[in-house]
Structure 1
Amino acid sequence: MIGFTRRSASSVLVVLTAFVLAVTGAPAASAEPPAFVLRDGVSQPVFSYQNAIRETAWVETGQDLDRDGRIDRVAADIIRPAEPAARGRRVPVIMDVSPYYACCGRGNENQKKTYAADGTPEQFPLFYDNYFVPRGYAVVLVDVGGTNRSSGCFDDVASGNAVVNWLNGRARGFRSPAGQDTVKAGWANGAVGAIGKSQDGTTAIGMAASGIDGLKTVVPIESVSDNYAQHIANGSPIVTPENDGSAFTYNERAAQLCQPYEQDNAARAGTNGDYNEYWKQLNYAANAKNVHASVFSVQGFQDGAVAPNQFTLWWDAIGRAGVTRKAWLSQAGHTDPFDLQREQWVATLHRWFDRWLLGVRNGIEREPAIHLEQTPGQWVDLPQWPAATRQGTLWPSAGGTLANRPGVGTATVVDDPAIDREQWATQDSTARAVFTTDPLTRPERLSGTPSVTVTASSDKPVARLGVALVDYGPASTRNTVEYGSGIKNLDTRSCWGESSAADSACFLDTTADLVDVDHVIVAVGWADLGHYASLEHGVALTPGTPYTITFPLTGLDHVVPAGHRLGLIVGGTDAMLFDPALPRLDDTLTFTLAATSVTLPLAG
């Protein structure tokens, strides 16, 4: 088991010459000796965590977003092993760029950065520092512009890229927020791996899509690849402008100075749901051709905060671009794999970083690309994803049936923004219409991205659409309803690396949070009917006129057991997704069932 690590005197007595020859193809004497020790195929914890160098560099971004007349500087808190530096050997960097280090914390226990009285960083959230610094890595945690100890405003990719540039000698760093005493990263070998969950992973994806030199790998966990799809559901804004954005993460100074910047961004984003130039710049999946880093992505299929379509968009795009890729896929919610399969996750991440940051030829890129949780706690390794080999189409029909031929009749729903998709699935309501198949005679695996084609008319010039795909039948699942994570904390702790008085390597253990249910919503999707022809140009609807729109649902990998029924729900506003401050539409939708269908990705 990988647990609390201790230095061993014998572990440093390793002959490195053969390794250098294997990696570089050159004699050891002609190459800089590696700043790590390799045994049993992985880097070893031979360096002191207690005596590691802890420091901060404030790095120029090249922008003045807060408009104070000075180039913005982002704070990069650094912890690195002292021994390689003393020998003149350089180390790679594991980086997490986040706006949350002061306001909200990171990880299951919401850890925040802490500092000594002189400002020296003491606690580095998560286990990366405890585990990897003794193995010859530096860990650098960067405050996004305008958050914690950084100046400037929220430009996450620019914040991360600035530090990558500094680590490679292409940007200036300073020893204080406003002073002129410069500091260089002579201890860094220029290789950077960016990791993070949620917004942090979104930043890593954006950095990769920028093509920045020096970024060797990214590990985005439950992260956004297309900001338009995160904020706007196929033309329908999900939140009001005043509730959209990251202003809540700002430090006191930025909260004042960045108001013009935020107002400008809101104006460029627009309120009509159109996919415009602002959103195109934030569509990282569309720029996958620029990605030079390897990618190790993580996604939960029941994540309500960052829907699985963010993963599927990214996965498909980097696949088409020929990027080396790997993924862990679970049935959990917005959850770090550290809290799903801790021992295997740490071991896999260790080998991944060894491969791409230390250059260890461990073959991990040739191993099965997919680690998939099929049912709670039951994982399999697969060569690729999705597994769909064919598509099947089902049509709803009057009377509530869902069958493999076009239906007949119409269905009418009255938009009710107080009713959510879980209520759609379980309660009688005029806010939705439900259609189900007969009980399945054999299991059916759905693997990939479903899509729907909806033909509907509205009695108003506007209309939101909501669609849910439901597995009706008894099951024991992870508890992810209402944005649940699917895990729960235990009273015990396990340790992953070395600790200091201010930074413990021991974290609460977790277990699956299971619940018995009679249905599972396995995929969802939303749209504005006025964007039926184009995401770039929405139009006002002519009341009573039917319009046809096709849009994807969220990705899934789910087996519908024999005896269960598959259901399709069509409705209007989903209260679980849409901001209640958005304007009420109060429309009535009439669906033409013969021209409404769902297309399913079928495996096997």
Structure 2
Amino acid sequence: MRNHRIRPVAGIATLLLALAAALLTPAGAAWAGTVHDGASQPVYSYANAIRETVWVDTGLDGEGDGHRDRVAADIIRPREPAQAGRKIPVIMDASPYYECCGRGNESQVKTYDAQGNPVQFPLYYDNYFVPRGYAVVLVDLAGTNRSDGCVDVGGPSDITSAKAVIDWLNGRASGYSARAGGSAVKAAGWANGSVGMIGKSWDGTVANGVAATGVEGLKTIVPISAISSWYDYYRSQGAPLYSGTPADLAGEVEDPADAAKCGAEQSALAAGAPYDGDWTALWQQRDYVPDAAKVKASVFVVHGMQDLNVRTVNFGQWWDALAAHGVQRKIWLSETGHVDPFDYRRGAWVDTLHQWFDHYLLGVPNGIQNQPMADIERAPDQWSTDASWPAPGTTQATVHLNPGVLGGSSNSGTVSFTDDPSKDENAWAGEADQVTPEKTAFTTGVLTHDLRLSGSGSVTLTVSSSTSSAHLSAVLVDLGPATIRDYQGSGEGINTLTTRSCWGESTAGDSACFLDTAAATVQVNETVFSRGWADLGHYAGLDHGVPLTPGTPYPMTVQLAATDHVVPAGHRLALIVAGTDDGLIDPPDTRPTLTVDLADSALRLPLVGGGGALR
């Protein structure tokens, strides 16, 4: 693994030549003195960088106190470009976690000196990119850390507070030197208006939401393990994934000084997210997918295919919507859970991100937009690439269901099972070849060649319940021995080591050296690789669930979340259908026996090579 420790510019003569080149370069272009061999170079002083905070007026009054909310934008930028009259782009991470919970594998928080000036900027973006000619701006979302307002968990306050900073960087919003009062601060002297947003989890979610506004100046986003619809974080086709509400999440991150003023917002978050799984105005407001047509930025999606926190339906539906509108995009899919690529593919990740930002923010013609679109982890630390994603040659294939059998020329028969909320998908997969009362399994024969699934599938089931409520789970399983990342372990597929490697320049208060990681692996005999869950009472749609009439058949299409998996020759593919998936969805309020009419059911899979690949 390479060490990216930056060395300072050698000699005053070199610096003077660079400054002279800057004065001769047209405004708005990348400074030729920073770009060599197709990449920006670390020619600026990190130790001497400008570190400041600007409070940006959001135009909101979330607290209802008659004062417009200001959000804190902590900025670090190289001193030399502004001195030479050069303007630079911004890498921005807007987050609610800079005080309460921290960022990255080491849970870094912002720190400040006695005068309130920022000292530590979490993660490596500042250490690595500031010497290369970028400003890094870390924004406290409304209601968190040093920002005014109320946390609304992906709603207008979150999105507007981050968008306002982009507007300020482009001269469309007002910034101030203090949280209250203070003098006006403009970015026009140093910012060229081009912004790239990046972040994992909630941070990446905000990047998706801001991009969906179509804001001018946002050139690219890099959402890592990000949500595209908050409904699909808390619910799955009516089935509750968590018993908590957005109000609970807001309470974890909200600054205590603001929380006392945000009771109305908290009440609205609780009321708007009913446990019954109905689609409400609150969920609609936090669904960014319908606004994919407004996205002007390029999008670099990164997600763990075994992420059971932000589940993979979130990247799958976002990706499909972006593709439908011709958005320029790239994707990395790992075998991990909810993990940042800096912690599972560090060297390749930093190099790729460097190229991405150089191209979209500095205008460097490095050709990254023409490189393979998709990187997929096939086994721990083993990656493949594809020119596009889903993989070329992928089509939706209909696969027939018969009792115990996946495949064949037609559907027939019925199967039954009784919901057992104590059993989960691992137990089902381990007993795929055994008849057990809580599930039904459909399996192929032993495959004679590799079978690749790439994208999202679905299974349509015609189901009758013995009670008035029922949940359904459907999982795809690779039956056969393999070494995989231990995504269910504490590191969700990584081990944190005691050694460190450095990715940029350090100061006494902000180190560029981070703990190394290695793949955490486990031997398995079966691998669940795609999942879907639904409440049968929402068979007619998400707007309103209804009590079931016992014995009445209902059609329900369970969406199987996006993935990319190769079932190798010698293994078998299985579909398992059951009730409650313990630990991943909450059970219904009854314990039904469910009967599936297979004659009116079907599985649809995204197969490379189509249906012929399975046959």
* TM-score (structure 2 length as normaliser): 0.92
Structure 2 residue 147 is matched with structure 1 residue 150: yes
Q: Distance in 2 between matches of 1:483 and 1:201?
A: 22
Measure, in 2, the Cα distance between the counterparts of 1:513 and 1:52.
Answer: 38
Contact 1:369/1:382 (8 A) holds in 2? yes
RMSD: 2.2
Q: Secondary structure of 1:357's partner?
A: helix
Give 1:448-463 correspondences, 5 Å limit: 448-463=455-470
Q: After TM superposition, list the pairs within 5 Å mapping 1:549-568 onto structure 2.
A: 549-568=556-575
Structure 1 counterpart of 2:592: 587
Aligned to 2:368: 364
Tell me, what secondary structure is at the counterpart of 2:267? helix
- Opposite residue 592 of structure 2, the aligned amino acid is D
Whether 2:5 is the aligned partner of 1:4: answer yes
Q: Are 1:336 and 2:340 counterparts?
A: yes
Aligned partners of 1:172 and 1:182 also within 8 Å: yes
Q: What is the SS of the residue equivalent to 1:451? A: strand
Q: Name structure 2 gaps, 5 residues minimum.
A: 152-156, 610-615
Q: Is the 8 A contact 1:14 1:38 kept in 2?
A: no
Q: Which letter does structure 2 place at the counterpart of 1:122?
A: V
User: What is the 5 A alignment of 1:283-362?
Assistant: 283-362=287-366
Deviates more, 1:239-248 or 1:161-170: 239-248
The 10-residue stretch of structure 1 (124-133 or 269-278) with the greater mean CA deviation from structure 2: 269-278
Q: What is the alpha-carbon distance in structure 2 between the residues aligned to residue 268 and residue 302 of structure 1? A: 29
2:508 aligned residue: 501
Q: How many Å separate the matches in 1 of 2:263 and 2:67?
A: 17
Residue 80 of structure 1 corresponds to 77
Aligned residue in 2 for 1:578: 585
Counterpart of 1:216 in structure 2 is 219
Give the one of 578, 591, 605 matched to 1:600: 605
2:200 aligned with 1:190: no
Q: How far off its partner does 1:410 sit?
A: 2.7
SS in structure 2 of the partner of residue 288 of structure 1:
helix
Contact 1:12 1:37 in 2 (8 A): no
Distance of 1:548 and 1:569 partners within structure 2: 18
What is the alpha-carbon distance in structure 2 between the residues aligned to residue 17 and residue 382 of structure 1?
43
User: Is residue 526 from structure 1 mapped to residue 541 from structure 2 by the alignment?
Assistant: no
- 1:98 matched to 2:102? The reply is no
The one-letter amino acid paired with 2:57 is E
In the alignment, residue 159 of structure 1 is paired with which amino acid?
S
Alpha-carbon distance in 1 for matches of 2:245, 2:347: 42
2:208 — aligned with what? 205
Q: State the percentage of identical aligned residues.
A: 53
Deviation by residue 1:481-539 (Cα, 9 ceiling, x = unmatched): 26752111122111000000011101111111111100000100001112212222332
Q: Does 1:468 align with 2:475?
A: yes
Query: Which residue of 2 is the match for residue 23 of structure 1?
Result: none
Change in Cα spacing, 1:483 to 1:391, as seen in structure 2 (3 Å) is farther
Answer yes or no: is the 8 Å Cα contact 2:413–2:599 preserved in 1.
Answer: yes
Amino acid at match of 2:512: A
Given the alignment, which residue of 100, 103, 107 partners 2:104?
107
Offset at residue 407 of structure 1 (A) = 4.3
1:14 and 1:37 in contact (8 A); partners too: no
- Cα pair distance change 1:121/1:136, threshold 3 Å: same
Q: What is the aligned residue count?
A: 594
1:133 is aligned, of 130, 135, 144, to 130
| 1:54-83, Cα deviation, whole Å (9 max, x unpaired) | 111111111111222211111111111111
Structure 1 residue ranges, 4+ long, deviating more than 6 angstroms after superposition? 13-18
**CA positional deviation for 1:470:** 0.6
Rounded Cα–Cα distance in structure 2 between residues aligned with 1:80 and 1:99: 22
Q: Which runs of 5+ in 1 are unaligned?
A: 21-26
Contact 1:34 1:89 in 2 (8 A): no
Alignment-derived partner of residue 258 in structure 1: 262
User: Quick one: distance in 2 between partners of 1:331 and 1:262?
Assistant: 36
Following the alignment from structure 1 to structure 2, what is the Cα–Cα distance between the partners of residues 482 and 341? Answer: 18
Contact 2:34–2:43 (CA under 8 A) maintained in structure 1: yes
- Residue number among 172, 175, 178 corresponding to 1:176 in the alignment: 178
Return the letter of the residue paired with 2:174: R
- Which AA in structure 2 matches 1:106? R
8 Å contact from structure 1 (residues 91, 188) kept in 2: yes
2:493 to 483, 486, 489: 486
* Match in the other structure for 1:239: 242
Q: CA deviation at 1:301?
A: 1.1
- Give the structure 1 partner of residue 613 of structure 2: none
Letter in 2 for 1:211: G
TM-score by length of 1: 0.93
2: distance between equivalents of 1:587 and 1:254? 45
Tell me the secondary structure at the aligned position of residue 210 of structure 1.
coil
CA deviation after TM superposition for structure 1 residue 583, in Å: 6.0
Is the CA contact 1:333–1:483 (under 8 Å) kept in the aligned structure 2? no
For 2:43 and 2:286, the matched residues in 1 are separated by 41
The alpha-carbon deviation at position 540 of structure 1 amounts to: 2.2
* Contact 2:394/2:454 (<8 A) preserved: no
For residues 425-455 of structure 1, give each alpha carbon's deviation from its aligned partner in whole angstroms, at most 9, with x where no partner exists.
Answer: 2257533222222211222111111211111
Q: Cα distance, 1:47 vs. partner? A: 0.8
Instruction: Describe the shift of the 1:158–1:532 C-alpha distance in structure 2 as closer, same or farther (beyond 3 A).
Output: same
Post-superposition offset of 1:34? 4.4
Matches within 5 A, 1:11-90: 12=15, 31=27, 34-35=30-31, 37-90=34-87
- CA displacement 1:96-145 (0-9 Å, x = unmatched): 00111111111111111111111111111110000000111110101111
The answer for the alignment partner of 1:24 in structure 2 is none
Say whether the 8 Å CA contact 2:474–2:558 is kept in structure 1: no
SS of structure 1 residue aligned to 2:372 = coil
Greater CA deviation, 107-116 or 30-39? 30-39
Q: Which amino acid aligns with 1:213?
A: E
Deviations 1:322-366 (A, max 9, x none): 111111121221111111221111111111111111121222111
The CA distance in 2 between the partners of 1:540 and 1:230, in whole Å, is: 24
2:429 counterpart SS class = helix
* Aligned residue number for residue 248 of structure 1: 252
Contact 2:163 2:215 in 1 (8 A): yes
Deviation at 1:179, TM superposition (A): 2.3
